[in-house]
Structure 1
């Protein structure tokens, strides 16, 4: 196949992709195993990120792989601080539910990864009117990693209850870099058949007819 050829996919391949999409899960610390992740698997996950679309082919991402427990402990500290602050924003029963939830696996997962947006100097094709497109490109890379990890039967959790500036300090990240995702990777003792927060009735899954608008808003 030359570089101009178009790759077509079979119905079976399409179905497999649907299954991977349907079974992707946000994995928490109470599900991670200590089983090491091979370098080959890590490289495969990173390659999936590098295949993501990016505005103006800017590829504005950088990935920090974290294995050291002291570094993880420092990141966990900001999670604990932010969790206490966040809990106060929920009332009564929801607050108690929030406190009971295990919302991360920073220490339990073998691999942590901080994903940064690194702005380019000068204008970027396609980003001049919508400056956040570069950050959205990094989110696409994260989604690619999530799906590839799931295809390898490796769990991934995205930890968002963090102070990004404190994480940057821990990792000595350049001033211009912006933290987009802090991820935990590891094999797991199980993948839920439904999202955990759906199972625990934190919220319900929206139906297609609730979120699709034809032509324009009324």
Structure 2
């Protein structure tokens, strides 16, 4: 019940252009991490739909003013709550036939300034929402040869004291 998220709906093309500008900066920095054929492949990847999607959702962590039940043990529970909310939105969008993409190549501080977010909020996800341009049988990064899915690792170990 912590509900530490704030969702900013971004419809205005000028504001989406601000998000895209942040994306362009981060992508230019990230591409330098790769070289040779890997960088060439990176340059061909469609990694965002900010200008294409009719709707952007900026999901930010809006920390509560005081202590929150359930956050005193494992760290990062407020961020995990935000991620769970995004996952549920993604599932709901998919069930309605919509496409939702999570744009991670943006700088949170830059977005906070560009979009004039309230003090204390921390952007955690920028979601591009709209009708999908294409339907894939596998994730784009897998179909392009960028990465392969790893098998789920499950540990079935009982711990006794």
Interval containing the TM-score (normalised by the shorter chain) = over 0.9
Aligned length, in residue pairs: 159
2:72 is the alignment partner of 1:128: yes
Could you give the per-residue CA deviations for residues 61-118 of structure 1, whole angstroms, max 9, x where no partner exists?
1100001111011111111111110000012111111111010000110000100111
1:131/1:177 CA distance change after superposition, 3 Å:
farther
Residue 102 of structure 1 aligns to a residue whose secondary structure is coil
Superposed counterparts of 1:1-218, under 5 Å: 57-208=1-152, 211-215=153-157
In structure 2, the partner of 1:18 is none
- 1:175 shift after superposition: 2.1
Cα distance in 2 for residues equivalent to 1:176 and 1:125: 20
Residue 41 of structure 2 aligns to a residue whose secondary structure is helix
Residue 173 of structure 1 aligns to a residue whose secondary structure is coil
- 1:152 shift after superposition: 0.6
RMSD: 1.4
- 1:130 shift after superposition: 2.8
- 1:131 shift after superposition: 3.7
Cα distance in 2 for residues equivalent to 1:185 and 1:163: 19
Larger radius of gyration: 1
Gap regions ≥5 residues in structure 1: 1-56
Cα distance in 1 for residues equivalent to 2:91 and 2:66: 32
- 1:161 shift after superposition: 0.4
Gap regions ≥5 residues in structure 2: none
Runs of 4+, deviation exceeding 2 Å: none
TM-score normalised over the length of structure 2 = 0.94
Could you give the per-residue CA deviations for residues 179-217 of structure 1, whole angstroms, max 9, x where no partner exists?
110000011232211111111121111123xx122217x
TM-score normalised over the length of structure 1 = 0.70
